[in-house]
C-alpha cells in the first residue's frame, strides 16, 4: 500500500532541489505539501517570501508530483496538521533538522504510527533557497 506522504516547506523560489525532494517523496506515495504561510516565513527566515502563499500554492499544484497542497499550521512548532491530514509518512528535507527533532520527540501525540524519513540533498551547494535568495538580491542591488 502506498504511503500518504506529508512534506513541509515554503517552496518560495521553486528550484531543482525542491523538485528532487518532491520526486523522492512521490516515490513513497501520494504527496501532500504543508505549505508555510507567509507570516511564518517571516518568523522563521527573517524576511518575507518573494512569492506570496497563493503564487507558491499555484506553482506546486501544477506539478504532477504533488497530490495536494494545504496550509501548514499558522503557529510555529505546532504540528496539528498531522492530526488533521493523517499521513502515514513525513518526509523532511535534509535541512529540516530542527523539525526532525521536534517531530521525533512528539510523534506519539499525533495518532497512528507515522514514519519519518529525511530526503537526500540535491546539489545543495547550488540549489538551496537561501543561496538563491541571496543571489537574486545581489542581482537586484
Phi-psi domain of 19 (left: phi exceeds 0; alpha: psi -120 through 50; beta: other): alpha
Whole-model pTM: value is 0.83
Read off the C-alpha cell for 8.
513541509
Tracing cell 501525540 back to the chain, one arrives at 109
Going residue by residue through the chain, which has 141 residues, state the pLDDT in tens, using 9 for 90 and above. Answer: 689 999 999 999 898 999 999 999 999 999 999 999 999 998 888 889 999 999 999 999 999 999 999 999 988 777 888 888 889 999 999 888 888 888 887 777 776 688 899 998 876 665 555 554 554 545 544
- Supply the CATH number for residue 11's domain: 3.40.50.620
Residue 24 Cα distances to 64, 66, 98, angstroms: 13, 11, 20
Q: What's the domain range around 113?
A: 3-140
Question: What total number of domains does the chain contain?
Answer: 1
Distance (Å, rounded) from C-alpha 15 to C-alpha 63? 12
Amino acid at each position: 500500500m502506498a504511503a500518504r506522504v506529508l512534506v513541509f516547506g515554503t517552496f518560495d523560489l521553486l528550484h531543482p532541489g525542491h523538485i528532487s525532494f518532491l520526486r523522492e517523496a512521490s516515490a513513497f506515495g501520494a504527496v501532500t505539501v504543508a505549505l508555510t504561510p507567509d507570516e511564518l516565513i517571516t518568523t522563521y527566515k527573517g524576511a518575507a517570501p518573494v512569492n506570496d502563499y497563493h503564487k507558491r500554492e499555484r506553482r506546486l499544484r501544477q506539478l504532477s508530483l504533488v497530490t495536494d497542497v494545504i496550509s501548514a499550521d499558522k503557529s510555529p512548532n505546532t504540528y496539528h496538521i498531522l492530526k488533521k491530514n493523517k499521513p502515514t509518512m513525513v518526509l523532511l528535507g535534509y535541512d529540516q533538522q530542527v523539525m526532525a527533532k521536534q517531530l521525533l520527540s512528539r510523534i506519539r501525540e499525533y495518532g497512528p504510527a507515522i514514519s519519518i524519513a529525511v530526503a537526500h540533498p540535491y546539489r545543495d551547494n547550488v540549489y538551496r533557497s537561501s543561496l538563491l535568495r541571496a543571489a537574486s538580491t545581489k542581482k537586484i542591488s
